[in-house]
Amino acid sequence: MNYFIIMAVALTAVTTAYAQSEEGVVQPAPEERSEMEKKEEFPQMHWEEMRSRMESDGPDAVVAFIQDFSDPEERLKLYSFAQQSFGYKEWKGKNFDDYISVVNAGIAEALKQSDEAEDAKTSAKHKDFANVLSYNLSADLAECWPGDTAIREKRHFEVGLAAAEDCIRWRQELSKGPFPFSIAHWAKGMHQMSLGDTAGAVESFQKALDYSVEYAGEQNVPETITPEGDFVVILNSGYLGIAQWLEGSKAGKARYEEACSAFQGQIDNYQDKKDDARFGLEQLQYVKDKFIK
């Protein structure tokens, strides 16, 4: 799971717990297990059924399975699990179009529950669920992940752009802070760049950078593009540099190289930043090589 998706998942209170057992520990028989233990198996226990339905009958069969659950919270948990599982697990005939159909059904279900909620707090919680699913969908469809060989067509970038724009709107309605806006504008910029809207990408990456600088300031983290700086600030500056470079600006090339140098400095000198910095550097280099020949 990529860094931005991990961070986005943390923005929602709707989580799924994975049941774990240590080797050599005797587990009680199913009928003897507590209600809490049984709940911990949900929704992972339904993966094989959902996978089989997807492979045999397509996304509509998966959606029908989820919608048959009478508990609204269980439906949302299943959609969250489906988004993660169909995005990152292997399944026969794996493709973006079917994945998109399931995630969009989850977003629609969350918005329906938001509209039907009896109080503002519950309504906002369900809208936030749609917001997170939408961001993760947009990030999954972005062509920026080193080692990801999945084929993306123009329609996938268009879906990713629309998903990013949706979550920006919902984050405004939910009065989110600067970090959620930073990653949402990053996603928007990535899809604009893939669709050939370089000027739009420059604008979006600039907003992503501005919001990440604001967030770093709130966290008392250096906002500089240096080895001492914040990961997201450096990454967004690098993306802005790529888009500016693609647009023909020499300053963009210099900005990109500055971000790469900052990440290399973190790799060389900061043990606690090394892994994230390596990820950021590889991502920037991958995207630069994809767009700038």
pLDDT tens digits, one per residue of 76-122? 999 999 999 999 999 999 999 999 999 999 999 999 999 999 999 99
- DSSP letter for 195, please: T
Residue 201: inside a domain: yes
State pLDDT tens for residues 141-172: 999 999 999 999 999 999 999 999 999 999 99
Residue 167: inside a domain: no
User: In terms of domains, do 143 and 182 share one?
Assistant: no
User: In terms of domains, do 113 and 194 share one?
Assistant: no
Q: How many domains does the chain have?
A: 2
Residue 152: inside a domain: no
- In this predicted structure, what is the pLDDT of residue 192? 98
Residue 269: inside a domain: yes
What's the average model confidence in pLDDT over 49-68? 98
45-52: long-range contacts (C-beta < 8 A, 24 or more apart)?
46/78, 46/81, 47/81, 47/85, 47/89, 50/78, 50/82, 50/85, 50/86, 51/85, 51/89, 51/91
Residue 27: inside a domain: no
State pLDDT tens for residues 11-56: 333 322 222 223 333 333 334 444 544 455 899 999 999 999 999 9
User: In terms of domains, do 186 and 276 share one?
Assistant: yes
User: In terms of domains, do 1 and 136 share one?
Assistant: yes
DSSP per-residue codes, 4-26: HHHHHHTT-S---PPP---TTPP
Which of these, 16, 86, 6, 84, lies nearest to 54 by C-alpha position?
A: 86
User: In terms of domains, do 140 and 72 share one?
Assistant: yes
Residue 38: inside a domain: no
- DSSP letter for 144, please: -
Could you tell me the residue range of the domain that residue 140 belongs to? Answer: 1-6+44-147
Residue 19: inside a domain: no
pLDDT band at 288 (very low <50, low <70, confident <90, very high): very high
pLDDT band at 198 (very low <50, low <70, confident <90, very high): very high
Residue 213: inside a domain: yes
The residue with tokens 């996938």 is 156
User: In terms of domains, do 262 and 203 share one?
Assistant: yes
